[in-house]
Structure formats: structure tokens, C-alpha cells
Structure 1
Amino acid sequence: MPDGKVVSLEDRIPKLKEQRKRKTNRRLILLISVFFLLILLIIYFQSPLSHVNKIKVEGNKTISDESIIQKSGLSRRTNVWKVNKEETAAKVESIPEVKKASVKIVFPNSIVVNITEHAKIAYISNGKKLLPVLGNGSVLNKQQDDILTNIPILTSFKKGKFLNEMVDQLKQLPDEILNSISEIHYDPKKTDNYHITMYMNDGFEVSATMRTLASKIIYYPSIVSQLDPKEKGIIDLEVGSVFKSFKAKGKDKNGE
């Protein structure tokens, strides 16, 4: 039999008892911890602590926080863990100015609503007020206090296919071109129901048809750069690109 230290049964029993005691204590501590955690969760869900305490709105520029919160249906009486994020976002997206919305729950009891607004692409004049026209073609029924000066004013347009076509064309324009337009008048002809007259910020006028506006007006800076800035006139983009000065137009009228 090889040499070795022999541990008697009497020596092993106390060690085994100590190990079992430690395991029992660990299990007991775990069970007590789980029990108290469940108690705390029950208290939390039954108490006002689980109700929405703060609603933060991000990304809005023209819509007030109050309007968004009211549309969302959220309030301090709402249980934060019963909030359906998709349904709440859909409610906010029903606001005409809102392009996209998302809802996030922040522990312990806060809600963050993040929105992306439709860009204002123009204003439409109804004779008394300037109503914003959004990138999705919607016309807001209320004039807003902050009137942007770098987008065109649409005149003589009504809701329908011609306004929708105009908006579709404007959405395709780079900011440089869009910001150079002061007014766009719906000016139909017998031969073209889509004809418009544009008044530019630099004093020129543009005669065009809506259907090809986006593809032709992009050449406007190049065309103007070849003209005498002191001699204003009409740039006809209906077929090609023809310039006729106001002076020449006046002479034609006098000749008649």
C-alpha cells in the first residue's frame, strides 16, 4: 500500500457539514433576494412610480410639444410598461406635419417621442393668409408665426392635381434653385393647363410648364450668368430657353 496521509471519518464529517451549511446559506440568500425583488416589483407596478413621470419630445421644429403629447394619448396616468410604442408612434404620425415618429421607454418612468417633420416646400396664398405646403403635398389650414423667406409663394393654385404636380416638381429642386424663387403663379393657357409664371428673387421672370420644370430650371443659374444683370426680362423654358427683355416687350407693345 503506497504511503499517504489517511483522513479519518471523524475528521471529514465536520468539513462536510460546513460545506452543506454554506450551500444551504447561499440558497437561502438567493431565495430571500428573489423574494424581496418580487416584492419590490409588485410595489413598483402598483405604485405611481410605474406611471409616466416625464414625456420628452425631440426633433420637432414647428409643432408644439403639447400638440404631440396630446395626440400620442400619453399622460401621467399612463402605466409606462403598458405603452404600445408602435401604436403611440402611429398616433403621432397622423399629425400632417409629422413624417416619422418613434417612441422609447427610459427606465424608470420616462417616455421619449422622437419625430421627423415634413419639410415646408412652399406657401400657398388664399388671398388673406400664407398656408404652408408640406413635402407630402398637404396644405396646413393654419398660418404659422414663423414665415420662411427662402421658399416660394404659390398663387392661384387650388388643392388637386395641379398643386400636387407643382409640389412633386419642387421636391426635386436643389436648395439653390428653390431658394431663388420668390413666387409661382398658376397661369394656364389654352394649349397648356400646366403653365406657370415664376418670379425670381433676382428680378427675372420664368415662363414654364410644370411637367418639365425640375429638369429645366436646374439650368437657370447658367442661363442667367450669360445675361446682362442690368437688363431684366422673361426666360421662356417651355420649349427651349429663350430670353426676351422687358424693354423689348415694351417696344413690341408700343409698336402695336
Structure 2
Amino acid sequence: MAEKKIVSIEDRIPKLKEARKKKANRRLILYLSLFFLLIAVILYLQSSLSHVQTIEVIGNEHVDKQDILTISGITTEDNFWKVNGETIAKKLEQHEEIQSAKIDKQFPTTVSININEVERVGYVQNDGSYYPILATGNRLTSYKLKSPTGDAPILVGWDGQKYLEEMTQELKQLPESITQLISEIHWSPTDQNPYKIYLYMNDGYEVDASIRNFSQKMRTYPSIVSQLDPSQKGIIHIDVGAYFEAYSTEEEKGENENESDG
């Protein structure tokens, strides 16, 4: 029978003391590390190292970058961690040309402002100047242009706000690929048809149409043009049915162009 090794209490006490000492030291080191880490965080938050260093504005085409920065209120004096993206986005979305805004914070010091603008569907000509029309139907009367930027059709002779708003909604539903083909849209109301409009296209054709169901009927334009002789220009009627009327003479074409200039 093997003899059991007996360890006296006197032998165990030094080992227990050593284990307790090591445990106390580890705990002290942990507390000191947390303390110095807390001090470092406080110093960091109170220093310029935690300030916003770079502010990016992305997606804006018409709204000026400086206007966006002013509305957002973000500066390089702001603490990166205190920038509230939701609050800033709501402020920016109050601008009539901004549909939505999103704020992204990129550690350590960059803030990105992502802008989605309201689409411009046209430019209204008035007293020799041009004013953008938004997809919301708003006319930017404070945004006066000497000439349109070419990203949307020119709307000429639109004195009736009701009809202008309806035309805006139709343009909003029209594919951009077709909108880009339109140079001018003239409101040409008659006693029988106050919805009558006349279009001048960038490819040299003219279109006789109506505001009502314009976005649906105008979708057939590319198909109609593809079947025509490119050398023969004229008027494409899409109001009642769809058919092509060639210019009978160069004089007739010139008269229509003069009406457009007027």
C-alpha cells in the first residue's frame, strides 16, 4: 500500500500567499490600465484629434455644395462623435431641391453627406429668363438662369399653373431617354382643347400632342421615328391616333421654326 504524501500547512502558506499576491497584482494592473485608458479617452474627446477633419458632399448636381454645408451646420470644429446624422439629414431634406439626404461617419474623422436631389423636369421661360421646374411641381422662382442647362426641356408659354402642374406630372413619368430628346414644349391651347401642346425635338422632328396621357403616348415616339426616312422631317401627331405628316415645303418648315423662336 502506497504511502500518502502529507503536505504540512507550513509548506502551503507561502504558496497561497504567492498566488494571492499575483492575483492582486493582476487586478491592480487591470484597474490601472482601465484608469489610464479612461484618461486617454477623455483627453482624446477634449482635443482636436476627435474633431471632424474632412466633410464630403456627394450626389449634388444643382444644389451648391456650400449651401449644403451651411444647412448641415457641420464644421471642422465639431466633435466627430457628436455629429447626429438623422438630425442633419432632416434639416437638409427641408430644402426644396433635396429629396433625401444620408449622413455617413467614417472613422476616424470623415463625414460624408450623400444627397439625392429632386429631379428637374423642365425650365419655364419667362421675360427672357429660365426658371427650373421640379418633379414636385415647384417652380424655383429664386433660381434665375440666363439660359437652360440642357438637362431638361424648355417649357414655353405656360401661363396656366394648373396645366403646368399636370405637364410636370406627365414629364415625371416619362423615361429619361425620351425626355432627353425633347428640346421645347409649347403650350398651345385652343377653345376646343386647352390641353394641346407642341413639341420641338432635338432630332429635328416636331410633335403635336396633348398634356393628357402624354407620358404614355410619347413612349411610342422612338418606334415611330425608327420607321421614318431620316432625310424627311415633319410633324408626328400622337394626340388622336399616331401618324406622320411630312413638311410639304421648306417654307412650311421655316414657319414652324420661326414660331418656335418666337
Shorter-chain TM-score range? 0.7 to 0.9
Q: Distance in 2 between matches of 1:27 and 1:218?
A: 76
Task: Give the share of equivalent positions with the same residue, in percent.
Answer: 45
- SS of 2:248 mapped into structure 1: helix
- Distance of aligned partners of 1:136 and 1:70 in 2 relative to their CA distance in 1, 3 Å threshold: same
Q: Which residue of 2 aligns with 1:176?
A: 177
Shift in Å at residue 165 of structure 1?
1.6
Deviations 1:131-186 (A, max 9, x none): 33333333333246995435311111258332222122112222332121111011
Q: Which residue of 2 aligns with 1:153?
A: 154
Counterpart of 1:46 in structure 2: which amino acid? Q
- Distance of aligned partners of 1:226 and 1:151 in 2 relative to their CA distance in 1, 3 Å threshold: same
Counterpart of 1:161 in structure 2: which amino acid? K
- After TM superposition, list the pairs within 5 Å mapping 1:194-233 onto structure 2: 194-233=195-234
- SS of 1:234 mapped into structure 2: strand
Deviations 1:14-52 (A, max 9, x none): 222222112111111111112122222322333344443
- SS of 2:212 mapped into structure 1: helix
Q: Which residue of 1 aligns with 2:188?
A: 187
5+ long unaligned stretches in structure 2: 253-262
Counterpart of 2:156 in structure 1: which amino acid? T
Q: Which residue of 2 aligns with 1:59?
A: 59
- Distance of aligned partners of 1:230 and 1:122 in 2 relative to their CA distance in 1, 3 Å threshold: same
Q: Which residue of 1 aligns with 2:260?
A: none
- SS of 1:247 mapped into structure 2: coil
Which range moved further: 238-247 or 2-11?
Answer: 2-11
Q: Which residue of 2 aligns with 1:83?
A: 83
- After TM superposition, list the pairs within 5 Å mapping 1:1-256 onto structure 2: 3-140=3-140, 141-143=142-144, 147-149=148-150, 151-158=152-159, 160-247=161-248
Deviations 1:178-231 (A, max 9, x none): 121111011112122221101112222111111111111111122223333333
Q: Distance in 1 between matches of 2:3 and 2:227?
A: 110
Taking only aligned residues, the RMSD between alpha carbons, in angstroms, comes to 2.6
Deviations 1:79-122 (A, max 9, x none): 33333321111111222222211113333444221112223332
Q: Distance in 2 between matches of 1:205 and 1:221?
A: 13
Equivalent residues of 1:150, 1:180 under 8 A apart: no
TM (norm. structure 2) is: 0.83
Q: Tell me how many residue pairs correspond in the alignment.
A: 250
Equivalent residues of 1:153, 1:182 under 8 A apart: yes
Q: Distance in 2 between matches of 1:3 and 1:117?
A: 89
Q: Which residue of 1 aligns with 2:256?
A: none
- SS of 2:150 mapped into structure 1: coil
- SS of 1:57 mapped into structure 2: strand
